[in-house]
Amino acid sequence: MPTTETALASAEAHSAHNYHPLPVVVASADGAWMTDVEGRRYLDMLAGYSALNFGHGNRRLIDAAKAQLDRVTLTSRAFHHDRFADFCARLAELCGMEMVLPMNTGAEAVETAVKTARKWGYRVKGVPDGMAKIIVAADNFHGRTTTIVSFSTDHEARADFGPYTPGFEIVPYGDLTALGAAMTENTVAVLMEPIQGEAGVLVPPPGYLAGVREMTRERNVLFVADEIQSGLGRTGRTFACEHEGVVPDMYVLGKALGGGVVPVSAVVSSAAVLGVFHAGEHGSTFGGNPLACAVALEVMAMLRTGEFQQRAAELGDHLHRELALMAEGGAVEAVRGRGLWAGVDIAPALGTGREISEKLMARGVLVKDTHGSTIRIAPPLMISKEDLDWGLEQLRDVLRG
Ligand SMILES: *Cc1c(COP(=O)(O)O)cnc(C)c1O
């Protein structure tokens, strides 16, 4: 096994520097805890940006994966396999929708949503060819493909990657008037995160999502909710949209859908919308593969009982109460979020988000900065209250200096 030092030096030399990870080298993990190559233990308060909602090495998920590994792992979509129909039916049911188009990563699912909305616009809504517009929000994060970064407002994510894909309109997040003004006859979709994760866990003003729903319905525009990070239990509900009683036309899912085992993503919608696709018009070699379906079916079985959602709601209330107390002390300037998900703005005098993350790491807690002085807290939903409290105690101590 490499030491921390040799692993970091080798990664520095041989891995492109497109990330700036904390200097910890994980060797194993179990539940909410990770162990590094030196045998040090860390509480995981990031959970792979919600990809690990059910914790590391979740027994049910690992068993489902192992059983499937021994049967069949890949068929490509050239053939049916015996987990596929069930995966689609169960996911449609979980979403209260009719059809599923499986992909692998989140970005691919967002690309799929963009293509679906455009095709629906031309074939169903009757938008003139090549004129379809999709409205997105400023400070969004939807992934890293050339088309997706075309509608990012983040300089680092965008610069040097042009020419950019046209057909997107950016409006301020949370501003219904601006959204209304941006809509035209050629608008086919509004694509948004119900809570903006990368932007610092920004929760839109009350009534915003309901307003987007109403406005899109009135104008015959698809409301596409990117719930890749917010969905599947994180906020205390299956979908973050539920907090406003909103049902979008399309969910874009990823991260936790693969149970932290394999990448699984999907677009889920009505037959009227996803029915626009015919053979050959879109696809993915690995999308909906047997291993992915087996793991995702187990993820869905765990979500159906509602226990993870309830846990996220209860522990989330506790988390937000504790963070509010820290805010009273002045070390924390603002806290946002829902459920087991929080964006915490640290008083800049106490350090950058990166510095706070490094200090927490030294105390055995792993979180990550989003930008500036903001850190994101998103532990696995199965974390114990004792572990969560211990993690928060470390944060309190770090902020005390
Ligand atoms: C992570 C994320 C994506 C991209 O998912 P990848 O699997 O990294 O491609 C898209 N949208 C949101 C909201 C995300 O959090």
Answer whether 229 contacts ligand 1 (Cβ < 6 A).
yes
Q: What pLDDT does residue 222 have?
A: 99
The Cα 83–Cα 94 span in angstroms is: 16
For residue 190, the model assigns a pLDDT of: 99
pLDDT of 329 strictly over 90 = no
CA–CA separation, 175 and 135 (whole Å): 13
The tens digit of pLDDT for each residue in 72-120 reads 999 999 999 999 999 999 999 999 999 999 999 999 999 999 999 999 9
In angstroms, the CA 175 to CA 40 distance is 46
| pLDDT 10s digits, 230-275 | 999 999 999 999 999 999 999 999 999 999 999 999 999 999 999 9
Eight-state DSSP code of residue 121:
I
The structure tokens listed for 287 are 């999308």
142 lines ligand 1 (CB under 6 A): yes
Q: What is the pLDDT of residue 385?
A: 98
Please report which helix (H) or strand (E) contains residue 218, including its range. helix 208-218
**Cα–Cα distance for residue pair 58/298, rounded to 1 Å:** 11
Quick: pLDDT tens for 214-228: 999 999 999 999 999
CB of 107 closer than 6 angstroms to any ligand 1 atom? yes
* Residue 372, pLDDT score: 85
* Domains of the chain as residue ranges with CATH: 4-57+307-400 (3.90.1150.10), 71-304 (3.40.640.10)
Pairwise CA distance, residues 150 & 142, whole Å: 11
Helix/strand/coil for 265: strand
Residue 401 has pLDDT above 90, yes or no: no
Report, as an integer, the average pLDDT of 33-38: 98
Q: How far is the CA of 142 from the centre of ligand 1 (A)?
A: 5
298 Cβ neighbours under 8 A, 6+ residues apart: 60, 61, 64, 259
Best residue among 52, 112, 140, 142 to mutate for probing ligand 1's pocket (most ligand atoms within 8 Å of CB) is 142
Give me the phi and psi of 271, to 5 degrees please: -65, -30
Distance 133 CA to ligand 1 centre (A): 21
For 336-375, the pLDDT digits (tens) are: 999 999 999 999 999 999 999 999 999 999 999 988 899 9
Give the per-residue pLDDT at 167. Answer: 98
Q: Which two tokens stand for residue 319?
A: 């988390």
Q: Which residues are catalytic?
A: 141, 226, 255
Q: What is the pLDDT of residue 342?
A: 98
Amino acid at 204: P
Of 232, 269, 284, the residue nearest 113 (C-alpha): 269
φ/ψ of 303, rounded to 5, equals -75, -30
For 395, phi and psi rounded to 5 degrees? -65, -45
DSSP of 78-100, one letter per residue? TS--TTHHHHHHHHHHHHT-SEE
The yes-or-no verdict on residue 303 having pLDDT over 90 is: yes
Average pLDDT in the chain? 97
Q: Phi first, then psi: what are they for 346, rounded to 5°?
A: -80, 140
CB atoms within 10 A of CB 367: 24
**pLDDT (mean) for 277-300:** 98
Question: What is residue 370's predicted lDDT score, i.e. its pLDDT?
Answer: 87
pTM, 2 dp: 0.98
- What digits encode the pLDDT tens for the residues 168-191? 999 999 999 999 999 999 999 999
Tokens of 305: 């009982």
Does any ligand 1 atom lie closer than 6 A to the CB of residue 49? yes
For the chain, the residue count is: 401
Beta-bridge partners for 369: 375
Contact 288, 84 (CB under 8 A): yes
User: Tell me, what's the pLDDT at 313?
Assistant: 98
Quick check: 1 pLDDT over 90?
no
pLDDT surpasses 90 at 35: yes
> Is the Cβ atom of 196 under 6 angstroms away from ligand 1?
no
Give 151's contacts (C-beta < 8 A, 6+ positions apart): 134, 136, 140, 142, 165, 168, 170
Tens of pLDDT, residue by residue over 2-30, are: 999 999 999 999 999 999 999 999 999 99
> Distance from the CA of 39 to the center of ligand 1, in angstroms?
31
Neighbouring C-beta atoms of residue 280, cutoff 10 Å: 6
For ligand 1, atom 15: residue with the closest CA: 229
